[in-house]
Structure 1
Amino acid sequence: YRQIADFHLQLYQLDFTAIGALSIGDDDRIVEHARPLTLKMQEIETHSGFSSATEFFNYVAQQDLQHLHGQANSVDDTADAEAKLVFRHQLLANIPQFVRRDQDLGPFKLACDDMCYGNMLVNNPQDLNILAVIDWE
């Protein structure tokens, strides 16, 4: 766990001006510009990066609401549909309360929502020293 905590601390040292995926620019520098490549974002429409945390959270919440309206099998029954609808509207209404104004525009931190043991290469089953973390898309 110490190695994994160290990986997260190293990632936290990096600051970015937008929420999005990383790529190599024409000048060989790392830039953030595309939509975030999270498990949730890969299931929704293509979008460019986000310049604020509020914009990102509103987008994700709106996508959840559209999914609820557009996919009938996303609910079990009327009560489930009503509960999910109320929750999604409450979430949208409360986003401003969860985003600090002084941090809304960044700096943003790099996060990997798929950093699990299956994506780590170790030296051997006894030592379990992590040699690499893979699958960063």
Structure 2
Amino acid sequence: GNLGACHVRLENPAHPVRYRGVVCSMKENFGFIERADVVKEIFFHFSEAKSLKEELKLGDDVEFIIQTRNGKEVACNITKLPPGSIVFEEINDEIMKGQVLKPLERGNAARHQSDPLPGRIRYRAPDYSEVEVPFGDKDQKGDFTL
């Protein structure tokens, strides 16, 4: 016959990883969070923030876990963080000179690009080490030819 398990219990349950982000758009009963760990947005339903005393607002810093539903990642168990908890990037006022290693694609190739920061620049840091940084369409101040 067939064997089956009964009285199953999880030993040493893993704590799910909590991610951070900022609420970037909201509709009637759902919205999107801009993730702090990767350059992409994740869907959430308002019911996933039901433990909050007040409703989520645009620009709120939040923490959440990720679950897969219908083959898509969604934010769940959403909690608010204190304002200013999420810093996406720090912009240095100092102007650096560098070399474009990989320019941005133009035309059809750019539309099929999955990496939001596909360009690469190399510059020499104050300690004389070489540093490579990615850049995207929004970073570029104009069109240039190499």
Shorter chain as denominator, the TM-score bin is under 0.3
Q: Which has the higher strand share?
A: 2
TM-score (norm 1): 0.23
Q: Which has the higher helix share?
A: 1
Please tell me whether Structure 1 or Structure 2 has the larger radius of gyration of its CA atoms: 2
Highest RCO, 1 vs 2 (Cα 8 Å, sep ≥ 6): 1
